[in-house]
Structure 1
Amino acid sequence: MDKLVNDFSLGLFFWQAVILVVLILLLVKFAWRPIMTSITAREAGIAAALAAAEAARKEMQNLQADNQRILQEARAERDAMLKEAREIKEKMVADARAEAQVQGEKMIEQAKATIDSEKKAAMAELKNQVTTLSVEIAEKILKTQLSDAAAQASLVDKMLDDVKLN
């Protein structure tokens, strides 16, 4: 430090001060305004970017809220559709069971009617056969008993006696 104080020159100091003042004046005149303008523009750009980021953050929050709401609505709609599908399935199953029950009862009734008609037809056929057999048996018995004239006269007398008694 002693060396600086010992080597001090007033002329050099004066010229350095003059150059410094001129340099500051030139900077103020030509560079200060553009630098300040660019700094101000930069500050405005940063503020606008921050405002845009804040607006985007708020928009994202709104979109997330809307997405949550839409998701809730979609879930509710899906649940409602599943419930409706279950109800339709249960109704279809119940209708099919009822229809099957009705068809089964109808088939049973038709089977009973068919069995009844077959039974009646079989009974009628049986009666016809029994009647035919009875007539044939009676005819054969009568032929054997009425083959001689004395048996015929005896049978006629017997029948006449029965008729008178009634």
Structure 2
Amino acid sequence: LMGEAGRSTLERTGSRPTADVVGLTSGYSGAGVKTIVPSTANIKITFRLVPNQDPDQIAELFHSWLRPLMPEGVEVEVWEEGRVSPALTPINHPAVKAASRSIEKVWGKAPYLVREGGSGPEEALGRILEAPVVFLGVGLPDDNIHAPNERIVLEQFWRGLLAVGELWFQMAATPDIRKVAQ
């Protein structure tokens, strides 16, 4: 994989900012061959932000970088589908420890903790509810998350439900569980 020099693949995919091309269309893509010069092209890009990055500033930086690259006569339109602020619950937070204990109780071994980037309401949930946000990932590496053939092994799913139930007990037994990450 290409990426930021001096960083491992695990770091680049879990704890560093990214700019990802997730879709690209242009030209003729129907049956047969047509040797044409495309009149339009579309690209879909997502950015994964990390703490201390502001979505509004990143959007402005992208726009100011992109526009000067276009040759004369080329029009650029940018459609935004949303902006989400980054969120991070520290690995030593009581909620993460409670989640680890619940996984260990159900699976019989301590979890391997990995940061995983994504997009969603995590930052807003943590800020509005004044509570940490923790995910229990119970899928396997070959489950092809977000792929057309995504799956989950039912045994993992059922154990995941048990782990969520156990997490409620672990959180109730943790006095400083609502401590907001600083």
TM-score category of the 2 structures, normalised to the smaller one: under 0.3
Larger Rg: 1
Answer 1 or 2: which has greater helix percent. Answer: 1
Larger RCO: Structure 1 or Structure 2 (Cα < 8 Å, ≥ 6 residues apart)?
A: 2
User: Which structure has more strand as a fraction of its residues?
Assistant: 2
